[in-house]
Amino acid sequence: MDFSSTPSFKGNDDVDRQLAKVQEQLYIQNAIRKLQIITDKCFEKCVTKPGTSLDSSQQKCTLFCMDRYTDTEKIVTESLTQRLQQHQ
Amino acid sequence: MDPRAQQMLARTLKSQEAAKQIELLTETCWDKCVGYPGNKIDSKTEYCIRNCVSRYVDTSYFIGQNVQQRAQQLASSRPESAFS
């Protein structure tokens, strides 16, 4: 591969690397937090009466819940973008 | 820091802020609109989520305006009453 067109000053490289690290950290943190939130929300919805095990209906509910939470996030992102564009 | 890196950092922070806002709104509107999870989001629920987001933004603007008004009232009133 040819990288000759990319400016590669030593200082810039270092800053780029630091920034990439920050972005990666944020990405991981966000993913972990999202997992925690989904666990919290789906536990609340699906495991209303905790028994001796996670029974099949609770498992089924949890699987639906995970997907519906992601759907909700998609709808929220879309509507928020639309709404904010409207105002400006 | 060079301006290019500064710009990139600013963009990263801004997108993180947006991600946080979406995260918060998703939680809020999920709690308000979504019942027992089924195999899809029905149209009624979707309608509720869309309204939830829009009204949240309205509420945020409304509160912003009100706080501004109150601050102006406070600033234009007599100085001694501003602290009473």
Instruction: Give yes or no for residue B6 having a pLDDT over 90.
Output: no
Q: Which of A9-23, A72-86, B7-21 has the lowest average pLDDT?
A: A9-23
Q: How confident is the model at residue A87 (pLDDT cuts 50, 70, 90)?
A: low
Per-residue pLDDT reduced to its tens digit, B40-75: 999 999 999 999 999 999 999 999 999 999 999 999
Is B42's Cβ below 8 Å from some Cβ in A? no
**Boundaries of every domain in chain B:** 3-82
Is B43's Cβ below 8 Å from some Cβ in A? no
Q: How confident is the model at residue B83 (pLDDT cuts 50, 70, 90)?
A: low
Percentages of chain B per state (helix, strand, coil), in multiples of 5: 80, 0, 20
For residues A51 and B49, what is the distance between their CA atoms, to the nearest angstrom?
A: 32
Please give, rounded to a whole number of angstroms, the shortest distance from the CA of A1 to a CA of chain B.
25
Per-residue pLDDT reduced to its tens digit, A5-56: 555 445 678 888 888 999 999 999 999 999 999 999 999 999 999 999 999 9
For A24, name the nearest residue in chain B, comparing CA atoms only. Answer: B12
Q: Could you give the percent of chain B with pLDDT greater than 70?
A: 90
Can you give the pLDDT at residue B3? 87
Structure tokens at A64: 């639906």
ipTM of the complex: 0.83
Determine which of A75, A81, A88 to mutate to test the interface with B (most B C-beta atoms within 10 Å). A75
Please give, rounded to a whole number of angstroms, the shortest distance from the CA of B67 to a CA of chain A.
19
For residues B15 and B1, what is the distance between their CA atoms, to the nearest angstrom?
A: 20
Query: What domains lie within chain A, and their CATH numbers?
Result: 10-87 (1.10.287)
Query: Do A19 and B61 count as a contact with CB atoms less than 8 A apart?
Result: no
Is B30's Cβ below 8 Å from some Cβ in A? yes
**Of B5, B36, B39, Cβ closest to residue A19:** B5
Can you give the pLDDT at residue A61? 97
Q: What's B3-82's CATH class?
A: mainly alpha
Can you give the pLDDT at residue A2? 54
Determine which of A6, A26, A72 to mutate to test the interface with B (most B C-beta atoms within 10 Å). A72
Q: Using CB atoms within 10 Å of the CB of residue B73, give its burial: 0 to 12 exposed, 13 to 18 middle, 19+ buried.
A: exposed
Can you give the pLDDT at residue B78? 65
